[in-house]
């Protein structure tokens, strides 16, 4: 059972992620006027917006499930993202539009700070309360097959390593990322990479394909939208760098692995429905 406070937190975050998706993915070239800080090049804004879009799917499907066993991994994924984003924000407060002459941008900066201070606290509080009354999960009906577990583990390792390097050493971005990142944007990109990398770890630890369906849909959305980002800004991507092709290979493999997981879990859901 999902507690009302947990559900309210997730609903609020789903609205915020949808707003960020519109501001960053749809309006990628206008962050100087409508977002909390100016993001250049626009491909970075679109990348972050795509990740927010995937995060929104993760949260919305989690709320709809109504079960803590199904929403726990999405919830922890979002919590990790918000904590890492808060740290990145505090490290680069001077880059935000707190004193901008553009009213919307200035309000967005203060709104961003309030959200990333309050949301992690609220989520950690509800996680503690939720775990304190955690229901006994259902028996493992469908363990992750090796042909899903192995690539998922490799993808999670890549996401965590690249995300960790970008966060701890953002100036190394030219070596491991296919387009230019500032220290702030490197750390914000890292927040999403680390969050989804940890999601992969949690799914492997849970070892129950039936409970991975929500994360699989969001994972597929992440891979698909990030491919769109590269196709949308081909002139900004450094195609001569190995990082560009690793980016494409990761996005494609994420779509393939997540799509296969969705197919497998669809069979489980159909069988469960017929059984009832």
What phi and psi values does residue 3 have, to the nearest 5 degrees?
-65, 150
- What local confidence, expressed as pLDDT, does residue 140 receive? 54
pLDDT in tens, 164-209: 999 999 999 999 999 999 999 999 999 999 999 999 999 888 777 7
Parent domain of 111: 4-275
- What local confidence, expressed as pLDDT, does residue 82 receive? 96
Instruction: Say whether the peptide bond before residue 41 is cis (omega within 30 degrees of 0).
Output: yes
- What local confidence, expressed as pLDDT, does residue 272 receive? 45
**Angstrom distance (rounded) from CA 259 to CA 195:** 20
**DSSP-assigned letters across all residues of 133-174:** TPPPPPP-SSPPPHHHHHHHHHHHHHHHHHHHHHHH-GGGHH
Report how many domains make up the chain: 1
DSSP H or E segment with residue 45 = helix 42-65
Which residues of the chain are modeled with pLDDT < 70? 134-141, 267-276
- What local confidence, expressed as pLDDT, does residue 28 receive? 95
By three-state DSSP, how is residue 37 classified? strand
- What local confidence, expressed as pLDDT, does residue 134 receive? 65
């Amino acid at each position: 059972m999902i507690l009302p406070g947990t559900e309210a937190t997730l609903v609020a975050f789903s609205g915020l992620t949808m707003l960020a998706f519109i501001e960053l993915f749809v309006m990628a070239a206008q962050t100087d006027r409508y977002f909390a800080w100016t993001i250049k090049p626009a491909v970075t804004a679109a990348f972050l917006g795509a990740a927010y879009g995937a995060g929104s799917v993760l949260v919305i499907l989690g709320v709809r499930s109504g079960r803590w066993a199904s929403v726990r991994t999405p919830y922890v994924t979002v919590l990790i993202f918000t904590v890492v984003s808060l740290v990145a924000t505090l490290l680069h407060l001077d880059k935000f539009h707190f004193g901008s002459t553009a009213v919307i941008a200035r309000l967005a900066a203060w709104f961003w700070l309030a959200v990333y201070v309050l949301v992690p606290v609220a989520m950690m509080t509800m996680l503690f309360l939720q775990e304190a009354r955690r229901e006994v999960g259902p028996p493992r009906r469908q363990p992750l097959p090796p042909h899903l577990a192995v690539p998922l583990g490799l993808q999670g390792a890549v996401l965590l390593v690249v995300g960790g390097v970008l966060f701890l050493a953002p100036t190394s971005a030219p070596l491991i990322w296919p387009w230019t990142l500032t220290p702030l944007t490197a750390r914000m990109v890292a927040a999403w990479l680390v969050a989804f990398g940890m999601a992969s770890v949690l799914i492997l630890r849970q070892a129950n394909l039936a409970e991975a369906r929500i994360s699989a849909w969001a994972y597929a959305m992440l891979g698909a939208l990030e491919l769109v980002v590269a196709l949308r800004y081909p002139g900004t991507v450094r195609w001569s760098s190995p990082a560009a092709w690793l980016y494409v290979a990761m996005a494609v493999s994420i779509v393939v692995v997540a799509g296969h997981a969705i197919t497998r879990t669809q069979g489980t859901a159909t069988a469960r429905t017929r059984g009832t």
